[in-house]
Structure 1
Amino acid sequence: MTTTSPPDARFAAARQLADAVLFEGYVLYPYRASAAKNRMRWQFGVLVPPAWGPAHGEHSFQRTELVMEPRGEAVLHLELRFLRAWRRTVEQALGDGSFTAVPELHLPDRVLVPWDEGTEEQAELTVPVAELAAGEVTLPLVRPAREETEPVLGADGRERGRLVRSAERIDAEVRLRAEELDVPYRALKLTVVVENTAAWTPGPGAGRDSALPRSLVAAHLLLGLSAGSFLSMTDPPEWARPAVRGCDNRHTWPVLAGGEGRADVVLSSPIILEDHAAIAPESAGAMYDALEIDEILALRTAALTDQEKREARGTDPRAAAVVDLADSMPPEVLERLHGAVRALREITGPDRAGVPEDVFTPDTPWWDPAHGAAAEPVPERITVDGRPVGPGSRVLLRPGLRRTDAQDLFLRGRAARVEAVLHDVDGGVHLAVTVDGDPGADIRREQGRFLYFQPDEVAPLEDE
């Protein structure tokens, strides 16, 4: 066994997604330490010291279990990645060589405040699968306590103060084992436990702020096989379903990563993801607040006052980067964030632009939604109230009260033009329409962004 794995290209694609997990919720809009939602931090994958966790409903370990099919003398590569919380205090220079702690230090471009910064930590392991099958392998992890000081200089080059960062000792271990499964093919169940083993004993009244510097934050694993594959935990082959159901994952969930079609890399994440999840290609950079839409975040951040931006820049270097990103984002990049639809493909020629790939049209005559086999062509027009309705037909909108968007109720009684008749995988029919008098109708047609109603929610009108 070696505790340092060689550079592994197979992790490159998965690492971008893993970084998003690592920093999810790190600092939230409006990116200021004073904001209420930035006072309760570190929500995902926090492994706290075992003496503190049980009394506060938090856990000190996470367990990953999954099924793998190694080939030959396969080797398992593992990366444990997490954030380490450094407590930052702000001190002002007194002019005589001494310093005093202050709640704020005002500079022309930022306002420095006390804050917990997160730094990336990583532990690596390379071990033959045969060694895991022979017995448990343990990787100890120790990060000694540290303190660092950074001078803060003014525009004139004089020392205005300093930042003092301190990190507590962290102790943890990773335990791995593999066991042969009684299945038709050679397969093993891999178990990986990551546990905080800190000997720290909390004093009376010790709160979460005391535990966090001794915790592994946003802890997750990257696992890779040199030869062979992992099985999907959500869509395993039939023969492996009982074995997959027998896997016990605690406080984390493993998904296939490393690019579509690959099965030799797994990301075990405290945030539940789907297999082969990916960062949207339109994303201009990390904004740390995935509960918001990038476009909205960029617009809101750019609209912050100069004083709010000074506070954000002084909160954290990553918050400062978000502010700079929003301020410098070109219009064409911001436009990319608006209305991206993954399911659409470009259709040229006589076909309609912007028809989803998973919607069946007259141009897909050999697909049966129920069986995936040869079928009759889907009709271009349908019958509504005894009259044919299709592209170009004018209809009266009468949205259903129970199944429509509340906003659509304002369209009751409005006339509209049918742009397309769409059929979904369940055999349902949907009419894509533009509303008469909508000044943005041409843009909607160009982008394929329509309103959708079912046939019983419209009534045919005489064509003009």
Structure 2
Amino acid sequence: MDIDAARTIADTVLGAGPVLRPYRAAGHRDPSRWRCGVLMPADRAADDESLSAVAQTECLVEAAGHVRVRVLLRFLQVRRRTVYRWLPEQGRFKAVGSLDVDGTAIASWDEPVEHEMCFEVDDVTLRGAGARHTVRVPGGFDRTELHDSRGALVGQMVRQRRPLCAMLNVSAQPVPAPRPALRLRVWVENRTRAGADGDEVALTTALVASHLILSVEGGAFVSMVDPPGWATEAAESCANVGLWPVLAGPPGRHDTLLATPRILADHPGDLPDSAVDELLRLRDLAG
């Protein structure tokens, strides 16, 4: 199985937006930099048709016997970093956009925190009621004092992230086809509550750059980009929402599948630097 290869291409394609996008001090909290694969909290998505809390991928698995499926759910969490200046005359800290410490600018910023959860589903569960998993990410708070070269207190940096809750569902059903095959469905929903906070705060309860890496034992994934003739009709009946599945790993391998919010070709491999630069350029033009 080529899990590592799938991770590499996912990190390259999805990381080009939220992680590598250049910093711009004029808009240090730019929501558009987190636009790719965003699953917003369910309560916020219910109030805005342009937002979604749910993503789903469906694909075909050719399998004559027992199969076991491994699902990796991967996403970024937005961690808020706020910089404060120490005001000695007032005995308090004041939030600032940027603080100069010995010639180095330390900015308030939104940082990505990577998460990866792995779930395995056996054949009996898969073909029966399916498997449901609750995904929980605890919140966090960290405070770091900032001192200059003389040791004097000049400020502090606070990092804070909110708890997240999501639901993952994995199921499969036989499909009518000349060969024995299953329609595998993986569905994920962000069930975090954003509350009454504004869009900028609600983003800290989102699942960003959400994607899936699937692997199978005892079966083989069927290409959804160019399905063989016997599977064409079944492939067309698959419903993908916010995720597009492609075969991962080297050509000829059919045991690993990558489902991302970006449309890729089968067996995408490692993207060259020029492709990453192009993704960045298109991203900046779009946002």
State whether TM-score is above 0.5.
yes
Q: Is the 8 A contact 1:27 1:289 kept in 2?
A: no
Match of 1:219 among 201, 210, 213: 210
Using structure 2 for the length normalisation, give the TM-score: 0.88
Q: Residues 80-119 of structure 1: matches in 2 within 5 Å? A: 80-95=73-88, 98-119=92-113
Give me the whole-angstrom Cα distance separating, in 2, the residues matched to 1:273 and 1:80.
Answer: 18
Pair 1:277 & 2:244 matched: no
1:28-81, CA deviations, whole angstroms, 9 ceiling, x for partnerless residues?
Answer: 664224259945331111001111114331100001001011354321111100
Q: Is the 8 A contact 1:29 1:289 kept in 2?
A: no
Letter of the 1:52 partner, please give it.
R
Q: What residue is the counterpart of 1:290 in the other structure?
A: 279
Q: Is the 8 A contact 1:252 1:269 kept in 2?
A: yes
Pair 1:230 & 2:230 matched: no
Give me the whole-angstrom Cα distance separating, in 2, the residues matched to 1:152 and 1:36.
Answer: 20
Q: Is the 8 A contact 2:19 2:112 kept in 1?
A: no
Give me the whole-angstrom Cα distance separating, in 2, the residues matched to 1:141 and 1:280.
Answer: 31
Shift of 1:167: 1.0
Higher relative contact order, chain-length normalized (CA < 8 Å, sep 6+): 2
Letter of the 2:13 partner, please give it.
V
Q: Is the 8 A contact 1:227 1:264 kept in 2?
A: no
Give me the whole-angstrom Cα distance separating, in 1, the residues matched to 2:95 and 2:118.
Answer: 38
Give me the whole-angstrom Cα distance separating, in 1, the residues matched to 2:95 and 2:194.
Answer: 27
Q: What residue is the counterpart of 1:364 in the other structure?
A: none
Unaligned runs of 5+ in 2: none
Q: Is the 8 A contact 1:144 1:169 kept in 2?
A: yes
Pair 1:154 & 2:145 matched: no
Q: What residue is the counterpart of 1:143 in the other structure?
A: 137
CA RMSD of aligned residues (A): 2.6
Q: Residues 398-417 of structure 1: matches in 2 within 5 Å? A: none
Letter of the 2:182 partner, please give it.
L
Letter of the 1:76 partner, please give it.
V
Structure 1 residues 75 and 51, CA gap change in structure 2 (3 angstroms): same
Shift of 1:23: 1.6
Structure 1 residues 71 and 16, CA gap change in structure 2 (3 angstroms): farther
Shift of 1:198: 1.9
Letter of the 2:74 partner, please give it.
R
1:290 counterpart SS class: helix
Match of 1:43 among 17, 35, 54: 35
Match of 2:177 among 155, 172, 183: 183
Structure 1 residues 39 and 106, CA gap change in structure 2 (3 angstroms): farther
Unaligned runs of 5+ in 1: 1-8, 298-464
Answer with 1 or 2: which has the greater Rg: 1
Match of 2:16 among 24, 31, 50: 24
Q: Is the 8 A contact 2:78 2:110 kept in 1?
A: yes
1:133-152, CA deviations, whole angstroms, 9 ceiling, x for partnerless residues?
Answer: 01121011111222112233
Q: Is the 8 A contact 1:64 1:250 kept in 2?
A: yes
Q: Residues 408-447 of structure 1: matches in 2 within 5 Å? A: none
1:154-195, CA deviations, whole angstroms, 9 ceiling, x for partnerless residues?
Answer: 334544322111111211010011001111111100001010
**More strand, by proportion:** 2
Q: What residue is the counterpart of 2:68 in the other structure?
A: 75
1:271 counterpart SS class: coil
Shift of 1:214: 0.9
Give me the whole-angstrom Cα distance separating, in 1, the residues matched to 2:252 and 2:139.
Answer: 43
Paired-residue identity, %: 35
Shift of 1:278: 2.5
Count of residues paired in the alignment: 281
Structure 1 residues 217 and 189, CA gap change in structure 2 (3 angstroms): same
Q: What residue is the counterpart of 2:258 in the other structure?
A: 267
Give me the whole-angstrom Cα distance separating, in 1, the residues matched to 2:251 and 2:230.
Answer: 23
Give me the whole-angstrom Cα distance separating, in 1, the residues matched to 2:145 and 2:276.
Answer: 27
Give me the whole-angstrom Cα distance separating, in 1, the residues matched to 2:21 and 2:177.
Answer: 50
1:402-441, CA deviations, whole angstroms, 9 ceiling, x for partnerless residues?
Answer: xxxxxxxxxxxxxxxxxxxxxxxxxxxxxxxxxxxxxxxx
Give me the whole-angstrom Cα distance separating, in 1, the residues matched to 2:63 and 2:37.
Answer: 28
Letter of the 1:25 partner, please give it.
G
Shift of 1:99: 2.9
Give me the whole-angstrom Cα distance separating, in 2, the residues matched to 1:243 and 1:59.
Answer: 26
Give me the whole-angstrom Cα distance separating, in 2, the residues matched to 1:237 and 1:105.
Answer: 59
Give me the whole-angstrom Cα distance separating, in 1, the residues matched to 2:121 and 2:200.
Answer: 36
Q: What residue is the counterpart of 2:157 in the other structure?
A: 163
Give me the whole-angstrom Cα distance separating, in 2, the residues matched to 1:177 and 1:163.
Answer: 44
Give me the whole-angstrom Cα distance separating, in 1, the residues matched to 2:204 and 2:21.
Answer: 23
